[in-house]
Amino acid sequence: MKNLVVVSCVSDDRKAPLSVYILNNYRKDVVEGVEKYASGLDADIMYLLPEGQKVEGLEGDVRYTCACSPTLNNPYSVVQVLSGNLPRPMIQDDFVAVYEDKAVSVITPEVAYGIVNGLEEKFVAVNVGDATEIKKVKVGTTVNEVVDIADAKAVLFGGLKGEFVTVAEAAGLKIEALEKYNSITVYSKQDCMVDACVQLMNAAYEDSCGKCVLCREGTSQFKQIVTEMTTGKAKITDIDLVKEVSELISIGAYCPFGQNMTKPLTTAMNLFEDEFEDHIKRKTCKCGKCYKAAELYFIDPDECQGCGDCIDACPEDAIEGKDGYIHIIDQDLCEQCGKCVSACDEGCIKTATKLPKLPKKKTKVGKW
């Protein structure tokens, strides 16, 4: 059986899109590294790129996929995508992934670059605010030399699978040839760490391939719990719950993504305990990010005409009512998306930080 080496450019962290950058800017080195690697395996070569990405001068077998996933550094997951299926990894030492009668192995552009140039250099995606800059730095360079963190609040190393560290600790770190240094994200003093964790857990939920229950349910539940911390619905016991469940997930999830995706949240909880407690116990956000989300939606019982137009607009099925009766929003289900507001021609869906008196049982329009 001949072999196949797939150069996967679709397994990056969304905030650290290193592969296409390296391929575009160091194509000759990458191609040389891939050819060296493939010749040792007597393998054909295929490049797998994100849909819509073109790499000037790249020759040979180039395929495209819209299925960017952290699991696409796994040969079985790559074979699934090449076969038109969803990306799903297989983690077994003795498992051989096969595509068109060829045994598949996977390499990234960064590894191929390293085969030619050694491991003295490292590509790092530096995220500050909404801007991402990819830098090539010497291994051993201090983080301080790569990005100015003097006025920062925290630094996340490793993106969705990474860990938050304090600025003081980050300043003393040196870049190593490890995946953790693929991505450095700087959070400023204006950034709310609970809100930051909401964004990270939303992205982790999007990236989970859903193959194993711990990661699929874990990302979904954690996304919900941390969102509730920003809307006044969480309990203080949720902090310990998240930490305990994280340990189980880190042991039981199937692939490295699931095993590590809770780390940003748990490390943020450890470093910024007061900030999380402020949100949960005192329902305050000192950065002013989460209060807006804590606005509660309600239907004004004096104005509702009982037409039901708002029900279909609600993606959470949070609106209850029937024709001719005053409609009610179930606050446990409402996610404060605001979609119902424009569905009500009468303008009777309103917001407040504290709910007014509302019907507790079915009430006919005009009887309130």
Residues at the interface with ligand SF4 (CB under 6 A): 71, 89, 208-212, 215-216, 253-255, 257-258, 297, 299, 304-310, 313-314, 316, 318-319, 321, 327, 329, 334-340, 343-344, 346, 348-349
- Distance from CA of residue 129 to its chain's centroid? 16
State phi, psi for 63 to the nearest 5 degrees.
-115, 160
DSSP state of 239: H
Work out how close the CB of 348 gets to ligand SF4 at its nearest, in angstroms, rounded to a whole number: 5
- Exposed e or buried b for every residue in 30-57, given b needs 16+ CB within 10 A? bbbbbbebbeeeebebbbbbbeeeebee
Minimal CA–CA distance to 281: which of 271, 273, 292? Answer: 273
Nearer to ligand SF4, 125 or 349 (CB): 349
Give dist(CA 309, CA 291) in Å, integer.
Answer: 28
Which residue's CB comes closest to ligand SF4? Answer: 258
| Tokens of residue 163, six digits | 């860990």
Work out how close the CB of 214 gets to ligand SF4 at its nearest, in angstroms, rounded to a whole number: 7
DSSP state of 153: E
DSSP state of 295: P
Work out how close the CB of 231 gets to ligand SF4 at its nearest, in angstroms, rounded to a whole number: 11
Nearer to ligand SF4, 198 or 310 (CB): 310
Nearer to ligand SF4, 111 or 314 (CB): 314
Work out how close the CB of 219 gets to ligand SF4 at its nearest, in angstroms, rounded to a whole number: 8
Work out how close the CB of 138 gets to ligand SF4 at its nearest, in angstroms, rounded to a whole number: 33
| Tokens of residue 317, six digits | 């099925």
Nearer to ligand SF4, 41 or 343 (CB): 343
- 101 backbone φψ class: left, alpha, beta (φ>0; ψ -120 to 50): left
Long-range CB contact pairs, 96-104, < 8 A, 24+: 98/1, 99/4, 100/4, 101/1, 101/2, 102/1, 102/2, 102/3, 102/4, 102/43, 102/44, 103/1, 103/3, 103/4, 104/3, 104/4, 104/5, 104/6, 104/75, 104/78, 104/79
Nearer to ligand SF4, 121 or 316 (CB): 316
Work out how close the CB of 19 gets to ligand SF4 at its nearest, in angstroms, rounded to a whole number: 18
Nearer to ligand SF4, 86 or 119 (CB): 86
Work out how close the CB of 334 gets to ligand SF4 at its nearest, in angstroms, rounded to a whole number: 3
Work out how close the CB of 341 gets to ligand SF4 at its nearest, in angstroms, rounded to a whole number: 7
Work out how close the CB of 320 gets to ligand SF4 at its nearest, in angstroms, rounded to a whole number: 10
| H helical segments located in the chain | 18-25, 27-41, 75-82, 109-117, 143-146, 167-171, 193-207, 213-229, 237-252, 256-260, 263-271, 273-281, 309-313, 339-343
Nearer to ligand SF4, 104 or 175 (CB): 104
Burial group, residue 94, by CB count within 10 angstroms (0-12, 13-18, 19+): exposed
Work out how close the CB of 268 gets to ligand SF4 at its nearest, in angstroms, rounded to a whole number: 20
Nearer to ligand SF4, 197 or 349 (CB): 349
Minimal CA–CA distance to 299: which of 291, 309, 289, 290? Answer: 309
Nearer to ligand SF4, 103 or 307 (CB): 307
Nearer to ligand SF4, 30 or 329 (CB): 329
Minimal CA–CA distance to 105: which of 2, 256, 4, 1? Answer: 4
